[in-house]
Amino acid sequence: MNTEAIKDLLYKMADDQLILGHRNSEWTGMGPLLEEDISFSSMAQDKVGQSYVLYKMLHELGEQEPDTVAFTRNADQFHNCQMVELPNGEYDFSLIRHFFYDNAELLRFQALTSSTYEPLAKAVVKFRGEVRYHVLHANTFIKQLGSSTDEAIAKLQASIDILFPYALGMFEKSKFENELIAEGIFTGEESLIEPWIEAIQKIIDQTSLQLPDYKTIKPINGGRYGTHTKDLQPLVEEMSAVFRVDPTADW
């Protein structure tokens, strides 16, 4: 099997999980209501936990230890899509990102359950069960808030308009796309787009919100190849502050 192609796939997934997990954790103690504070904190823990499983898989393939990989790289060495690194903004912004991201992720995990790379195929079965709750959480809130007050609808719509091009960047193709598909490791980014649009459209249709036509929107790509916004490096520095002071610290 093409190990470099597998590593590329694992890195982008692990980095997405770690970075969004970190952003979610920034809601701890700051949520608009206690239950949401707890929800974003729990989703953070799930995502960081899943990233750890993926970094361990990378370690088995010859990469460094999970903590080293997570805490010692600079922003331009991360493969996450740009959407996950954007600052949380207000709650509506985090919620729309959560809605876009987790619906895509559930489809990605679903597709990977039949991966020919067995360790990943096994792990995503587990991840899928966990992320189902994330998707249900996002969909429930979008349905309720997206058909509530004018202010809520306007705020959510503004966040959709800003985030949608970034969301399409989730599906930026790997340079190993053909190999991954040919070897049955992954069905490919393109295979996720239509089902993703369908999944989110189904929820949006139950609200007063609107999705742009994705065919007319230019995706904001680059993240998978190390091009990031100015917001990633400060995140990485904060996330790794303790490790950089004392790599043996335990907490």
> Between residues 59 and 193, which has the closer beta carbon with respect to other proteins?
59
**Applying CB under 8 A, which residues contact other proteins?**
35, 38-39, 41-43, 45-50, 52-53, 122-123, 125-130, 132-133, 136-137, 140
How near is the Cβ of 44 to other proteins at its closest, in Å?
9
Of residues 46 and 231, the one with the C-beta less far from other proteins:
46
Least gap, CB of 77 to other proteins (angstroms): 24
**Nearer Cβ to other proteins, position 132 or 244?**
132
**Three-state DSSP class for residue 114:** coil
User: Residue 209 corresponds to which amino acid?
Assistant: L
Minimum CB distance to other proteins, residue 47 (Å) = 8
Question: Residue 49 in 3-state DSSP?
Answer: helix
Cβ-based neighbours of 205, under 8 Å, separated by 6 or more: none
Residue number with CB closer to other proteins (216 or 248): 248
CB contact set of 212 (below 8 Å; sequence gap of 6+): 160, 161, 164
Q: Shortest approach of other proteins to residue 75 CB, angstroms? A: 24
Q: Which residue has the tokens 């100015």?
A: 230
Give the residue carrying structure tokens 């306007």: 154
- Strand locations in the chain, DSSP E? none
Alpha-carbon span 53 to 57, nearest angstrom: 6
Nearer to other proteins, 67 or 190 (CB): 67
Q: How far is the CB of 115 from other proteins (least distance, A)?
A: 13
Nearer to other proteins by Cβ, of 119 and 188: the residue is 119
Dist CA 177 CA 120 (whole Å): 17
Q: Using an 8 Å Cβ cutoff, are 207 and 143 in contact?
A: yes
* Minimal distance, residue 12 CB to other proteins, in Å: 18
Among residues 195, 59, 49, the alpha carbon closest in space to that of 123 is found at 49
